[in-house]
Amino acid sequence: MPELKTLGLFLITALAEIVGCYLPYLWLREGKSIWLLLPAALSLMAFAWLLTLHPTASGRVYAAYGGVYIFSAVMWLWLVDGIRPSTWDVVGSLVAVLGMAIIMFAPRSA
């Protein structure tokens, strides 16, 4: 079950990062309110904090998190931007998630 906890934590972390970057995008590119920067900053602070909750080495967490971020960004493309991912988007996302699983869950000697 620790694998599901890790994956869930990564997914929440990715959502915090994407929201933290998407809100300034809305302000800069879509002419939305500058007040979006406040929740964006809070979201990015949550993102940084969430990365610290993993019990393994930070470099390993950052490397593995990248795979989940890729998957989450492609899901965002579909669910928020309304653009259906291509076959290559899906394949690339699955490869990235596989890379995350190898990095995070491979057996290691103490």
Give the pLDDT confidence of 13-27 residue by residue, as tens digits.
999 999 999 999 999
Calculate ∠ Cα 63-60-71, nearest 5°: 35
Residue boundaries of the structural domains of the chain: 2-105
| pLDDT tens per residue across span 12-63 | 999 999 999 999 999 999 999 999 999 999 999 999 999 899 878 788 888 8
Distance separating alpha carbons of residues 36 and 27, to the nearest angstrom: 7
